[in-house]
Amino acid sequence: MDLEVKAAYADDLLDQLNRTVFRQQQQIESLARELLALRQQFAASGVPGTGGAADERPPHY
């Protein structure tokens, strides 16, 4: 009887963990798409100085 109860709890816990991992994966994929869209928007904006620190003029010029 005790083993059946423990097995039932283990099954419930496994189901909860699977749902949590699934939701987290959905959120990760959503954030990755949003990041990609922001990168594309930023690249398309043509903002000067986006080339990094190597393209910037030193302050003494």
pLDDT in tens, 2-51: 999 999 999 999 999 999 999 999 999 999 999 999 999 999 987 665 55
Residue 14 counted as domain residue: yes
Q: Domain span at residue 30?
A: 1-37
pLDDT at 38: 97
pTM of the full structure: 0.63
Residue 33 counted as domain residue: yes
Residue 5 counted as domain residue: yes
| Tally of structural domains, the chain | 1
Residue 13 counted as domain residue: yes
Residue 54 counted as domain residue: no
Residue that has been written with the tokens 């709890």 in this structure: 9
Residue 16 counted as domain residue: yes
pLDDT at 54: 63
Residue 44 counted as domain residue: no
pLDDT at 4: 94
pLDDT band at 61 (very low <50, low <70, confident <90, very high): low
